[in-house]
Structure 1
Amino acid sequence: MTTPKNSGRRAHLVSLAGDLFAEKGFRATTVREIADAAGILSGSLYHHFDSKESIGDELLSAFLDDVLAGYREAATDTDPRAAIERIVRSSTATLSRHRAALTMLQNDWAYFSAQPRFGYLRTAMKEIEQTWVDQLTRGRETGLFRADLDPRLTYRLLRDILWIPTSWSQSKGAWTNDEIVDGLLRLLFDGITARP
């Protein structure tokens, strides 16, 4: 029998495991290493989780639930530019809260996406992409965005740009999340070309 998900001890173990998964990779991290980091015996970890995959599942599903909640809320905005801005702000806040899960996805996507247990990852990623594409397409069709805008390419570029700065805020003297978001939005909507 495993510990309920709302247990403080369980949450602590998930956090420790997430740090190890982000540092070493999900597949390279052993149950023994997680137990050692928690100061418990390996067998004791199974009191809280039935497998290492259960811990990974908890990290990834919480991350994607958080991302999708923000995206769904942003998509209710009738102005595509405002919706995109809300998506960017929501993404940055969510990514900073779930650094370990993001790193796990970046480093071990091939593994997770091949496992039936993690089939929800592809579904969630499709919804995330479609949310972006819908807003970008709507902005293009209403004349708010350029007529030659490729929504899928723009989404991929922006997604990858958003994923990169999550590690910056850990560096001394780095930009805050708000500074990063404001800089990205200025670049996105105003460009780098000086106006006459």
Structure 2
Amino acid sequence: GGAAEGRAAEGRAAEDGAAAGAVPPARAALAQAWSVLRANRSFRVLAGSYLLVSTTTHLVLAGLPYFAEYALGRPGLTTVLVGSFVAPALVATPVWFRISRTLGKQRCLLAAQWAFVLGSLGMLAGARTGLAVVVLATLVLGVSFAGLQLFPFSMVPDTVRAAGAGEVDRAGAYTGVWTATEAVGSAAGPYLYSAALAAGGF
């Protein structure tokens, strides 16, 4: 009986020691994410670009209700503007995909970025020139938004394969980093928008 109890105690002590020496899952995931970003420059640039794009697009989307009510003086247009921003993605995504077969993903991504800039400028002009310009500009933003979502995501496997066979085995780590990047961007946009309103005394 005493020997059995002793062996059990030793087993528990060994388990406790192993647990104490184990790396916490969160820390291990963070280390793996950092390793991926450090090892693959192409992916690092793509993720950084997407973080900026995601933050910007979600900031604009969060600002549409304010724009409709205070810039246009028509709060009822919020639904129209949000719909004009989001709905075109259903049609534009397959169109972007077909165009990319001819022009390539990088050129199409650049075109989508420029279209977003033009749409944003059109919204500013539309606040003075009329509702039709605002809706048209919002549609342009929606079409560009579809490309800004499609192409960065579709380029992730390209950056992984370009880094070598060893990186392909770490595809899960790349997916985790990308998901985190998307989550940070979608949260940072509305946060920055709210911070700007607060700084302005709204």
TM-score (norm 2): 0.30
Q: Larger Rg: 1 or 2? A: 2
The structure richer in helix per residue is: 2
TM-score (norm 1): 0.31
- Greater RCO, 1 or 2 (C-alpha within 8 Å, sep 6+): 2
